[in-house]
């Protein structure tokens, strides 16, 4: 009885207050993992207890770049590859803000690769969430800097001849102070990592593997469920693993976990210490 009574008056979705519900359903394809990463991010933001009025989401171009348009808080959809520079500007202009960069691998590491390494070098106080779907999904599935060796895409029909980036190692070498990698299946760990990253200062980088069934999956005979099965079977959680030893090989294993959490003076602190001698 109670069940039928409550079914008549359905309560709102718990994340509806953080979403621009007039734009939902979103544009992401059925089986795409960006929605899951986005929902994890919103849950982490909501449960972190931080002031959401002092939080901003910045995203670049691509499928995951649409996220900034769906969130009902201060958000910024920037030009291609320039999410991190815009976020840096936001943070420097208003150091009280908690800035989250939510973008894809093509945006952050191909056209925006240089910005990424320099923001990590300076230790800008940002949280960077990279949705890695292993190709350029929005433009039709071209090869990206993260496409695995021998994977088929529209621009590499015989298999990718190149080696992909090891993103956590790149972030580590560039000087990021918090690095973790999860898949969309490990949503609870992902939410916890985002929560940690939001509350800490310094450059935090979280890579999230996400299936792209329509562009990457179709050409590699991998349905959305096959990708998730791969994550489940091949995912090896090694917290604190050395970033140079972590792997992303869909046959040998994908190393997941929180790899690094160290403290280093942030860009703003260093600037104040060096240039604002009062």
Instruction: Locate 216 and state its tokens.
Output: 């990457």
Does the protein bind other proteins through residue 216 (CB under 8 A)?
Answer: no
Helices (H) and strands (E) in the chain, counts: 11, 9
Piece in contact with other proteins (CB under 8 A), picked from 37-45, 51-59, 158-166, 262-270 = 37-45
Does the protein bind other proteins through residue 191 (CB under 8 A)?
Answer: yes
Piece in contact with other proteins (CB under 8 A), picked from 31-39, 58-66, 76-84, 111-119 = 31-39
Identified binder of other proteins from the candidate list 8, 11, 96, 278, rule CB under 8 A:
11
Identified binder of other proteins from the candidate list 58, 84, 131, 185, rule CB under 8 A:
185
Does the protein bind other proteins through residue 8 (CB under 8 A)?
Answer: no
Q: Are 167 and 145 in contact (CB under 8 A)?
A: no
Say how far apart CA 230 and CA 250 lie, in whole Å.
Answer: 7
Say how far apart CA 241 and CA 245 lie, in whole Å.
Answer: 7
CB-facing half-sphere around the CA of 210: CA atoms within 13 A? 33
For other proteins, the closer CB: 190 or 246: 190
Piece in contact with other proteins (CB under 8 A), picked from 30-38, 50-58, 83-91, 152-160 = 30-38
Say how far apart CA 72 and CA 43 lie, in whole Å.
Answer: 13
Closest separation between CB of residue 237 and other proteins, Å? 17
Instruction: Locate 43 and state its tokens.
Output: 């849950």
Say how far apart CA 252 and CA 225 lie, in whole Å.
Answer: 19
Closest separation between CB of residue 20 and other proteins, Å? 11
For other proteins, the closer CB: 137 or 164: 137
Say how far apart CA 111 and CA 220 lie, in whole Å.
Answer: 25
Residue numbers at the binding site for other proteins (CB under 8 A) = 2-3, 6-7, 10-11, 13-16, 19, 24-26, 28-36, 38-40, 43, 184-185, 187-188, 191, 224-225, 228
């Amino acid at each position: 009885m109670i069940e039928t009574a409550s079914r008549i008056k359905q309560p709102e979705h718990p994340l509806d207050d953080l979403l621009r519900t007039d734009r939902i359903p979103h544009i992401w394809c059925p089986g795409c993992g960006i929605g899951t990463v986005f929902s994890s991010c919103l849950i982490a933001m909501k449960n972190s207890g931080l002031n959401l009025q002092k939080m901003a989401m910045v995203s670049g171009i691509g499928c995951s770049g649409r996220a900034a348009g769906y969130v009902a808080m201060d958000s910024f959809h920037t030009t291609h590859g320039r999410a991190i520079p815009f976020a840096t500007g936001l943070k420097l202009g208003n150091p009280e803000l908690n800035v989250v960069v939510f973008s894809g691998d093509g945006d952050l590491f191909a056209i925006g690769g240089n910005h990424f390494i320099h923001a990590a070098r300076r230790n800008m106080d940002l949280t960077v969430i990279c949705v890695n779907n292993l190709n350029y999904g929005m433009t039709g599935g071209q090869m990206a800097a993260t496409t695995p060796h021998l994977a088929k895409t529209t621009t590499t029909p015989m298999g990718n001849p190149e080696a992909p980036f090891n993103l956590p190692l790149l972030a580590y070498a560039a000087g990021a102070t918090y690095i973790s990698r999860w898949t969309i299946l490990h949503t609870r760990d992902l939410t916890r990592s985002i929560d940690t990253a939001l509350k800490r200062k310094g450059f935090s980088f979280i890579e999230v593997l996400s299936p792209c069934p329509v562009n990457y999956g179709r050409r590699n005979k991998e349905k959305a469920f096959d990708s998730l099965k791969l994550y489940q079977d091949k995912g090896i959680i090694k917290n604190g693993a050395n970033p140079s030893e972590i792997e992303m090989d869909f046959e040998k294993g994908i190393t997941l976990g929180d790899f690094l959490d160290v403290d280093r003076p942030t860009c703003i602190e260093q600037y104040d210490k060096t240039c604002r001698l009062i």
